[in-house]
Each structure stands twice: as C-alpha cells, then as structure tokens.
Amino acid sequence: IEVDEFDLVVFGASGDLAHRKLLPALYHRYDDGQVPDGSRIFCSARRSYSDAEYRAWAREAIEEHVKNHETHKLDAFLEKIHYIAIDLASGEGLADLKSALEERPHGIRAFYLAVGPDLFGPICEHLGSNSLVTPQTRIVLEKPIGKDGTSAKVLNDTVARVFDEHQIFRIDHYLGKETVQNLMALRFANALFEPLWNAAHIDHVQITVAEALGVGGRAGYYDTAGALRDMVQNHILQLLCLVAMEPPESMDADSVRDEKLKVLKALAPITEANAEKLTVRGQYTAGASAGGAVPGYLDELGNSDSATETFVALKAEIANWRWAGVPFYLRTGKRLAQRVSEIVVQFRPIPHSIFSQEAGSISANRLIIRLQPDEGVQMKIMIKDPGPGGMRLRQVPLDMSFAEAFKVRNPDAYERLIMDVIRGNQTLFMRRDEVDAAWAWIDPIQAAWAASRDKPRSYTAGTWGPSASIALVERDHRTWAEDG
Ligand code: BG6
C-alpha cells in the first residue's frame, strides 16, 4: 500500500533499538519503494554527530542487520537521514528541528520515542510548547508504558496533554509479527475454525514465548521490570486477546481494540488468595546455552539479592460464555532451552472411538501457530498409518511453513508498524484503555508476589524453567507442548 511523503523524527536515535530495528526496517521499506522521494528522516539524540558521522553509524547498523543490501541504494537511503543533536534538559537543538519541520507544515509528521519513559514527558512538553504538533502529527511510544497501573496513568496523562488518542501509537511489536496477524486471517478468513473456537471444543490454550538469551546488557532495566511486566503485560496478553476475542465488526482499529479490551476485562483476577496456585516465578542460575557455559541472573546483575523473576508461568481464565473453564497457560522466560514462541490450541478428545485397541491411542487435534523461529501453522490430525497391516492410527502434522510456502523474506514487525504509523492506521497499536486493563490484571499478581515471602524458584539456564511450571499444568493432567 502506497504511503504519502512524510517526515519522521526518531528520538533516541543513537540507541540499540534504532541500530537493531528502526534503521534496518526503514531501509527495507525504502528498498521496497515505500519511502516516497521527498520524505525526510530526522535522527536525534544528545550526542553531537555531524550528518556524515551519524550516517556512517547508520550504515554500519544496516550492513550488520540487512543481509542483501545494495550499496547504491544504501547510499541513496542514507541521504534522507539528517542528524540533529538535542539536549532535552536545556532544549538546545530544538530550534533546528523546528525550522526543519516547519518547511513542511502540512505534511505527515511522526515522532518516534525510542527513549526511556522518563523522557516521554519532557519530549511531549517541548513538542507542545514549540507548536510542533499539527493535525497530521503522530507520536509513537515504545514500552514499557509504566510499571503499574498508576505510573501508566501518569505517563498516558502526560502524553494526552499534547496529543489526542488518535495520534498516539503505542507499539507492541508482537502485533507487527507476520504470524500474529496471520492469527486473525486464520480465525476470520476461514469458516473451519470459528464454530469450534470455544469451550465446547477447545480443551485449553498454551502461549509460550521462550527466549534462549539472558538479560545481558539490559540487566539494569530488566531488574526493575521482570518477566511479568516485560513480556506478559504486553506481548503475551495481546496474543491471548487475538486468540480469545470475538470476531470484530471489521479490521477498523477501534472494532479490533474494542474486542481485545473485552477479553482483558474478562480475565479472572489472580490475587493473594490464588496466586500461589496459579502462578510460578523463576530466576535462572548458571548453566549452559547453545553448548557454552553462561552465568546466572544474579551474577549478570552483580546483585545477589534481587527477587526479580526471569521466568513466569500462569494459568489464566477468561470468565465469559465462550471460554468459561478453558485454561490459558501462559509462560515466558529468559535463558530457556530454546528460542520458540508459539500458540497451541488443544482441542478436546473425540467423544467415542470406533477403533480397536490395536489401532493405538487417539490424540486430540492440536493447532500450533508458530511465531518464531520457522513461522508457520501446523494442525495435528490422526490418520491411518500406510500399509496393509490393518488399521493403525498415527498423529501427523498438516504443516504450513511460511518460508517454504512463500519464497519471500519475512518482514520484521517494525517494518509493518512504522508504515502503519505513517498511514495513520492504529489497528495494530494498543489503545490507552487496553493498557489500563492489562495493568489492572497484572497489578494484583505483582502485589501478591510482593506480599509473599517466597523468592522466585531457581532454574538452571538452558532448561524449560522451574519444575513447578511443569507441575502447574500436570496438576490438570496436561503437559506443555515441548515436554509432551
Ligand atoms: C521485548 C522485551 O519487548 O521483547 C525483551 O523487552 C524481549 O525482553 C523482546 O527479549 C522479545 O522480542 P522478540 O521479537 O525477539 O521475540
């Protein structure tokens, strides 16, 4: 889809997100002809770079993260980038940005805040007081949006003083992942699944976002967050919403977000009374990853006291007609056995078998939506084993691997999301009330943990987390997909 000429301003442009994600994503969109000629990209941070110095840094980022870049295209793309040093404390540098932007007062303008949330306020105030917010202006906020409901409200209020809700794009990059959008296609572009998509036919759902990496250089931020706030409050709850929501009226932003909000509001509360039964916290200790020895979380942090969880498993329930009694097992963690993110929809067993015992056992159908790596959709079905030896049953996958089915590059989530910002399409961004509802479910869990004297359970780096996580599902006579 075509986009109009735009001005994009990236605050925090010398940081890790710009290096790994934003610059490579913008280059890809340019390469695909989606950055119209007159568009300008203003990169800003406190450091004083000349245009040439910043472009050299940006070149290195793109060379590192984009496999097949062409030098002449990269040169042309870098010409679009201008660097403006801005000191947000003193306001120095803002005048330069203002005069550059005012050359095009009516065009599409987007401010991307790739900075910590403590800078959201100062940036918004500067943008407001310098009259840089036009009707065609959008602002993009990176998570974390607060560390609980109260701090999220303060942040959102600060931004709302300068921007209207329809101008605010709260990124949850999981919503930009191809397979996540495919979940909507799968559910609502096929007649097959929806009639079965409820408690009568689905036994339970599992959502796993497992990472093999540790916290590495982000230990400072991570220790103030933990897995519940870093991954569950946003990415995992968004995935849960897309699995569980009612069919929206259309793909219109508010139709989709209204339905997601209803799911968040229907989540059964986890409080001090039931947290011990429904949640498991873990923290990794030294172990091995990809064959090499790796340190434990506390060693990386240099603080032997931290009770921050690097793993969490939860049993969630959605108290509504469609899902009553269907557990949603959620789990995420750092330094797990492998990097894998998937949604597993486990159907109920057949009501009655017509086969003899010799045919073997019949496993219930299972739909697996794999987000990463090896994006794809798999349906586990029972078939007859080939051969004349009588009726022997076997479960096999009906497998759709995106890489094999479509010989195209799988775009990064940020490519889609940045372009949606430019187009003004908020469907894949979180509305304020969704953020609030997600915190309203997370805060009591956090409070229950704070009130309990227990520390997170240890797990060895390179495993699937604490054994209590396995027990959480085994108690219900079920198993996590990888373990079973
Ligand atoms: C981020 C979290 O939002 O998502 C990180 O802050 C996490 O801790 C990352 O590693 C995972 O994203 P992806 O796209 O690599 O699965």
- For ligand 1, atom 6, the nearest C-alpha belongs to 230
Rounded to 5°, angle at Cα 437 from 332 and 125: 100
Ligand 1 pocket residue status of 172, Cβ below 6 Å: no
Ligand 1 pocket residue status of 309, Cβ below 6 Å: no
Substitution site in 230, 233, 334, 338 for ligand 1 pocket (most atoms within 8 Å of beta carbon): 230
Q: Do the Cβ atoms of 303 and 175 come closer than 8 Å?
A: no
Kindly report, residue by residue over 121-131, the tens digit of the pLDDT: 999 999 999 99
Q: How many CB atoms lie within 10 A of CB 26?
A: 26
Catalytic positions, please? 235
pLDDT at 365 over 50: yes
Mean pLDDT value across residues 412-429? 96
pLDDT attached to residue 185:
94
Substitution site in 171, 174, 231, 335 for ligand 1 pocket (most atoms within 8 Å of beta carbon): 231
Ligand 1 pocket residue status of 230, Cβ below 6 Å: yes
Determine the residue type at 74: L
pLDDT at 484 over 80: no
Kindly report, residue by residue over 176-225, the tens digit of the pLDDT: 998 888 999 999 999 999 999 999 999 999 999 999 999 987 888 899 99
pLDDT attached to residue 483:
43
Mean pLDDT value across residues 458-481? 96
ipTM over 0.95: yes
pLDDT attached to residue 219:
86
Kindly report, residue by residue over 435-462, the tens digit of the pLDDT: 999 999 999 999 999 999 899 999 999 9
Percent pLDDT > 90 in the chain is: 88
Kindly report, residue by residue over 120-165, the tens digit of the pLDDT: 999 999 999 999 999 999 999 999 899 999 999 999 999 999 999 9
Kindly report, residue by residue over 297-311, the tens digit of the pLDDT: 999 998 778 999 999
Helix H, strand E, coil C: the string for 168-235 is: EEEECHHHHCHHHHHHHHHHHCCCCCHHHCCCCCEEEEEEEEECCCCCHHHHHHHHHHCHHHHHHHHH
pLDDT attached to residue 409:
83
**What does residue 347 show for φ and ψ, rounded to 5 degrees?**
-80, 165
